[in-house]
Amino acid sequence: MRIRIVDAFTDRPFSGNPAGVLLLTGADTFPDGSWLQNVALEVNHAETAFAHPLPEGAEADWALRWFTPATEVAMCGHATLATAHVLHTTGTHEGPVRFATRSGVLVATPAADGSVTLDFPTAPLTRVDPPGGLAEALGTEPLTVLDTGPNVGDLLVEVADEKTVHALAPDLKALAAHSERGVIATARAEDPARGYDFASRCFFPNVGIDEDPVTGSAHTALAPFWSERLGRPRLTGLQASARSGRVRTELRGDRTLLTGRAVTVIEGELLA
């Protein structure tokens, strides 16, 4: 089986968010979950995506699952983008591809410029009181705190400004107590002339990821939050991790479009 490492939400290698992609082209079901988890642990990136084709007439074209090194997750944007990129660049699938996932059917549509647009469910945001100890764990006082619902499973935390986002050095062990997956910290862009409208960083200690480089699923919550604040459905977010990456978002009611590019950096053979 061919296995690939793909950098997602970037147009250059060694940036964006790397994902393992394994296409099970000859399978009609997934292997045992423990084997999938072991492969993801061996790859040791934020997520590894596994996909197998579905028969004609099914609700989708491919079945898709995502695993961190520690657990299976309900939704992952960058590994979905990486999988669509592999399907299109290898000629395995042409045109929009429908994925059957734990979050419903997700569609990935390629464009002539090489970008891919993902159609994901918009995260339902519910304002909550800041949990006790959150400010200490994050290292800054939150301005606004929202629950992002079951698919995303994070707290969305607005902080004072973009400089604060860049400077965060949270206590990850303490942070793990405050949500199912982790915390999305965000602020308005200091200078929109730089080409983005808001900045964010994502810390997911509960699924074995101290800081995720670029998180598509988080932008299903960031898009409605900032679209309401800024009064525009189309925005660009900068995820200000060490690898960094940008996600173009478009809010369409209960759906959010996420657009980005991807680059395959490693291709090899899985022998186990």
Pair (131, 236) in one structural domain: yes
Catalytic annotation present for 47:
yes
Calculate what percentage of the chain has a pLDDT beyond 70: 100
| Residue 49: both structure tokens together | 């995506």
Cβ-based neighbours of 234, under 8 Å, separated by 6 or more = 248, 249, 250, 251
Write down the pLDDT at residue 102. Answer: 94
Pair (233, 263) in one structural domain: no
Residue 99, amino acid: F
Write down the pLDDT at residue 90. Answer: 97
Give the closest residue to 175 by CA, choosing from 151, 202, 197: 202
Write down the pLDDT at residue 30. Answer: 98
Mean pLDDT value of segment 161-179: 95
pLDDT in tens, 53-63: 999 999 999 99
Write down the pLDDT at residue 228. Answer: 97
Pair (115, 142) in one structural domain: no
Q: How long a stretch of residues is the chain?
A: 272
Pair (175, 236) in one structural domain: yes
pLDDT in tens, 30-51: 999 999 999 999 999 999 999 9
pLDDT in tens, 74-111: 999 999 999 999 999 999 999 999 999 999 999 999 99
Mean pLDDT value of segment 172-178: 93
Range of the structural domain that residue 186 is part of: 126-253
Pair (190, 136) in one structural domain: yes
Pair (136, 107) in one structural domain: no
Instruction: Find the catalytic residue in 47, 158, 162, 211.
Output: 47
Mean pLDDT value of segment 192-201: 97
**Residue 64: band (very low, low, confident or very high) from pLDDT cuts 50, 70, 90:** very high
Pair (94, 109) in one structural domain: yes
| Count of domains observed in the chain | 2
What is the average pLDDT score of the chain? 96
CATH number at residue 204: 3.10.310.10
CB of 67 within 8 A of CB of 22?
Answer: no
pTM of the model: 0.94
Write down the pLDDT at residue 246. Answer: 95
